[in-house]
């Protein structure tokens, strides 16, 4: 997917901290190529590193250009991010629509973001093939730079097959024999307490209990823990010293 990854272009960014936060947002979702157009405080900027929170690879690879035209010279698909109409007739797309286009397109793509206070100028937007914007509260239509970057990067990442660590850490459901042991353990303890009385409701109660215990998809550690809880309850209560 590296050849499909869009370039993130920051035009006249003002604060090193915001460049760092944008780099962090990029790397969160698998983007590593940042281009800077005449950053106000020059480059490199010592304030960017701490704000990037470990996204050093993005900052180290960042390139600086004199003009936006130079920064996107090798890109066939350029998206200008703005929430304001600029008097320039361009197709308007959402981050989701832009991401689909980027994944399907041939040639390189770029997402272009303007300076923090003023956004992109009309001349900047004129270089783009499309305007990228999001549905937003018209009474408060202000996004900071990192927020804008993360919206676009996230939508792109959904088609990039990025690994999801939380999914990898999940254990598979326990084997059926372990689950049957848990169900049997519950039934044995409940029988001692006459839970399945009266006899006319016993079968229905057993079925409901089975449904309750099979629905969560316990893994073997969870089954083992529940068996331990039942075994503890099964023991005679001993007085504490």
Indicate the domain borders of the chain.
2-162, 176-234
Residues 6+ apart with CB under 8 A from 120: 11, 80, 81, 82, 86, 112, 113, 114
Say what the pTM is. 0.69
For 119: left if phi > 0, alpha if psi spans -120 to 50, otherwise beta; the answer is left
| pLDDT at 166 exceeding the cut of 70 | no
Q: What angle do CA 77, 140, 11 make, to 5 degrees?
A: 35
Backbone angles phi, psi at 92, to 5 degrees: -115, 125
pLDDT level of residue 4 (50, 70, 90 thresholds)? confident
Q: What is the DSSP string of 174-202?
A: PPHHHHHHHHHHHHHHHHHTTTT-SHHHH
pLDDT at 143: 83
Residues 87-102: tens digit of each pLDDT: 668 899 999 999 999 9
| Residue pair 174/213 in contact by the 8 Å Cβ criterion | no
Among 85, 70, 75, 147, CA closest to 120: 85
Q: Which helix (H) or strand (E) holds 75?
A: strand 75-81
Average pLDDT, the chain: 88
pLDDT digits (tens, 9 = 90+) for 31-54: 999 999 999 999 999 999 999 999
The stretch 217-236 carries a mean pLDDT of 88
Q: What is the per-residue pLDDT for 226?
A: 92
DSSP class of residue 173 equals B
Q: Is the pLDDT of residue 1 over 70?
A: no
According to CATH, the superfamily of the domain at 2-162 is SPOUT methyltransferase, trefoil knot domain (3.40.1280.10)
């Amino acid at each position: 997917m590296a050849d499909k990854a869009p370039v993130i272009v920051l035009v006249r960014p003002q604060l090193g901290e915001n460049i760092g936060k944008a780099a962090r947002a990029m790397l969160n979702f698998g983007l590593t190529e940042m281009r800077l157009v005449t950053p106000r405080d020059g480059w490199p900027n010592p304030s960017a590193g701490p704000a990037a929170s470990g996204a050093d690879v993005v900052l180290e690879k960042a390139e600086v250009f004199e003009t936006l035209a130079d920064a996107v010279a090798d890109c066939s698909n350029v998206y200008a991010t703005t929430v304001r109409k600029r008097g320039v007739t361009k197709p308007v797309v959402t981050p989701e629509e832009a991401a689909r286009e980027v994944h399907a397109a041939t040639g390189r793509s770029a997402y272009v973001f303007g300076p923090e206070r003023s956004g992109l100028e009309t001349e900047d937007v004129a270089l783009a093939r499309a305007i990228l914007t999001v549905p937003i509260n018209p009474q408060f239509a202000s996004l900071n730079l990192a927020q804008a970057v993360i919206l676009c990067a996230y939508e792109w990442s959904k088609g990039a097959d990025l690994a999801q660590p939380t999914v990898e850490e999940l254990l598979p459901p326990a084997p059926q024999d372990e689950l049957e042991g848990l169900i049997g353990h519950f039934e044995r303890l409940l029988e001692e307490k006459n839970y399945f009385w009266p006899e006319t409701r016993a079968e229905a109660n057993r079925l409901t209990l089975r449904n309750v215990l099979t629905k969560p998809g316990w893994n073997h550690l969870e089954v083992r823990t529940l068996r331990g809880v039942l075994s503890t309850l099964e023991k005679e209560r001993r007085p504490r010293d």
